[in-house]
Amino acid sequence: MRVNTGRVDRIVRFVLGVVILGLYGALAPPWKYVTLLGLIPLATSLTGFCPLYAAIGWNRHRTPTERTP
């Protein structure tokens, strides 16, 4: 798996995933299980790989040579 998400993208996905999973205990049973979809942004933030980005051909991860000082 190749990293294709940037630093800010990973941080936003992590926070979003944790917030969605945090709603698990606060919602009623039908909606409670929808919050498990928060595992998707959480997993993509931890691995740095987004299958949707790979399918589209996007690469938001910059290598050290692409960064400007």
Helix (H, G, I), strand (E, B) or coil at 40: helix
- pLDDT (tens digit, 9 = 90+) per residue, 11-56? 999 999 999 999 999 999 989 999 999 999 999 999 999 999 999 9
Confidence of residue 69 (pLDDT cuts 50, 70, 90): low
pLDDT of residue 49: 95
Q: For residue 46, give its domain range.
A: 7-56
pLDDT higher than threshold 90 for residue 64? no
**Number of domains within the chain:** 1
Sign of the alpha-carbon torsion through 54, 2, 11, 50: positive
3-state helix/strand/coil string of the chain? CCCCCCHHHHHHHHHHHHHHHHHHHCCCHHHHCHHHHHHHHHHHHHHCCCHHHHHHCCCCCCCCCCCCC
pLDDT of residue 3: 92
pLDDT higher than threshold 80 for residue 63? no
Is 61 among the domain residues? no
Is 65 among the domain residues? no
How far does Cα 10 stand from its chain's mean position? 6
Is 26 among the domain residues? yes
Is 16 among the domain residues? yes
